[in-house]
Structure 1
């Protein structure tokens, strides 16, 4: 189903046989609503979105959007490939964040809907010209949203470039499994299959140093609550404004890489990805009093799982690379699966 929004965008609504619903705009590929049942079979929204669609025109928090060309922060808004240095638009102090002001979250994507007996979806495509935002290469990218009858939301990313460039895309949805923003994410239980995370400096720029999670609030190898890091006196939790905004290097596994549980609702979300890592961001700096669909915003109202490679690899060795070679193929997948426990 589609709806016209503000006479310039389209809102797509995907629904499966279980009643699960995913809504998104062709503007920025922005996911505005994911409605899934709780243990009482009540459908509620589990992502943050604006009450007024006009607020997505700025969307400084990147709610629900496709992020690119490069997800994350690029130090000093520059990088060097094949002895050529490229200067990007600085949109966070001296640094370049989430593709810059004209990134993928700010473009209207071309759309092609599809459906079969057991799934429904839309393929979004976009061409970014050589030099846009300072990046080399004309690239053609696509992101396909697929909703299955197993309550899976599958995100398939692909891209090609006529020049060697930097590319790592992600989705920036803020999840809150309480449903309809009934509470903060302090008591969300999270498991992440990761032995190491990357240290941040005071500008939230990765230093390149990998830290083992053992005996830290970053050890999610067994289930722990997010409040552990929010209340932690650890230097790395404090530098991230009392929470998490860090890149975790994922173990390569055929099992889900991430699991999130919320006891009151009974909702469980698992994430399986072919990406090498994930930034977990606990909305530590989310402003107060934005008009969201279900109420006012505040810090710790959602948690992002930005599956991606590491932009810090442009400046440091030993991190998952973001380089896409000329005429090479970028292909990644992330699957969000929803279920009930208890």
Structure 2
């Protein structure tokens, strides 16, 4: 096994290939309404390509998913200066976040699932974050046609920890070069508006009567081509954090996406308080398994909210010694013919 390698697993009618570079999901094959298998994620053909990739295709994101304003934060009374890799802000952990790390990757299985286990040791002050952070992530393909992702982490010093997976999905499996005709529903009454640098203002606003009201199915095209300044002026598409409802259970249904050409459906359930809906607005001539451009895929990144360390009323991303960071997200696949 070389320095850069991948593992392929199958279960529950799904097939997945994962590489040790960034823990990236390279391929995810699911059946359409005619039982034909197709790869529904964007990515590269070889593991080493993920070292140079600009779009975070399929990768694990940390130590902090999304943006931290001015690349500064306070943890345990300590002022942190992080890596400013997105203008004045820090994005997805800095210049070499978890997406560029080499993870320990092995195949594993359990009752009702097969998958992979990934481990990474993030050293004290890596990217400006204090504490030796040990991270363990499971990607499980369940008997019920689900990709179940579980994240766990522990630190020996007060630090920040907010992890996600940055897979881009195109449920047509290449039949369409974009996701404009995907139907999307997001179960959120509120969102967090941002400034011109995509940093939250601190407000929590209703989606009602805005282009962000996705509580009923709407095509991506209807949002991005609907002349909505909320969508097009600063973003060129969707790139918004949606506030998920609190639930008495550990998991909430965050979103559902339907693609009419293939009949594929994907439901996202999570323990996280937010989900970033991103429509690949900044993807441009990215050469991977295909040549990807704007709107080639969408992301539903379950997360703590952006810039939470600088917004005391946002969900905390602080992790203290003796605590265990725990998060879970499930992508549930099915197919049906359009009604």
- TM-score category (smaller protein): over 0.9
More deviation, 150-159/203-212: 203-212
Gaps of 5+ in 2: none
Aligned residues: 334
Q: Which residue pairs with 1:169 in the alignment?
A: 163
Q: CA RMSD in A?
A: 1.5
The answer to whether structure 1 residue 194 and structure 2 residue 188 are counterparts is yes
Distance 2:91 2:208 in 1: 30
Task: Specify whether residues 173 and 246 from structure 1 end up closer, same or farther in structure 2 by C-alpha distance, changes over 3 A only.
Answer: same
Kindly state the Cα deviation for residue 261 of structure 1 after the two structures are TM-superposed.
Answer: 0.4
The answer to whether structure 1 residue 325 and structure 2 residue 291 are counterparts is no
The answer to whether structure 1 residue 297 and structure 2 residue 292 are counterparts is yes
Task: Specify whether residues 226 and 85 from structure 1 end up closer, same or farther in structure 2 by C-alpha distance, changes over 3 A only.
Answer: same
Distance 1:320 1:205 in 2: 15
- 1:36-71 deviations in Å (ceiling 9; x for gaps): 111111111000012454421122100000000000
TM-score, normalised on structure 2? Answer: 0.94
Task: Specify whether residues 116 and 131 from structure 1 end up closer, same or farther in structure 2 by C-alpha distance, changes over 3 A only.
Answer: closer
Gaps of 5+ in 1: none
Matches within 5 A, 1:207-286: 207-253=201-247, 256-286=253-283
Task: Specify whether residues 17 and 238 from structure 1 end up closer, same or farther in structure 2 by C-alpha distance, changes over 3 A only.
Answer: closer
Distance 2:87 2:63 in 1: 19
Kindly state the Cα deviation for residue 133 of structure 1 after the two structures are TM-superposed.
Answer: 0.8
Distance 1:119 1:84 in 2: 42
Distance 1:320 1:119 in 2: 31
- Tell me, what secondary structure is at the counterpart of 1:208? coil
Tell me, yes or no, if the aligned pair for 1:231 and 1:242 is still in contact at 8 Å: no
- Tell me, what secondary structure is at the counterpart of 1:199? coil
Kindly state the Cα deviation for residue 17 of structure 1 after the two structures are TM-superposed.
Answer: 4.9
The answer to whether structure 1 residue 312 and structure 2 residue 276 are counterparts is no
Tell me, yes or no, if the aligned pair for 2:5 and 2:47 is still in contact at 8 Å: no
TM-score, normalised on structure 1? Answer: 0.94
Distance 1:100 1:75 in 2: 12
Tell me, yes or no, if the aligned pair for 2:252 and 2:271 is still in contact at 8 Å: no
More deviation, 279-288/318-327: 318-327
Distance 1:180 1:186 in 2: 13
Tell me, yes or no, if the aligned pair for 1:208 and 1:317 is still in contact at 8 Å: no
Task: Specify whether residues 217 and 17 from structure 1 end up closer, same or farther in structure 2 by C-alpha distance, changes over 3 A only.
Answer: closer
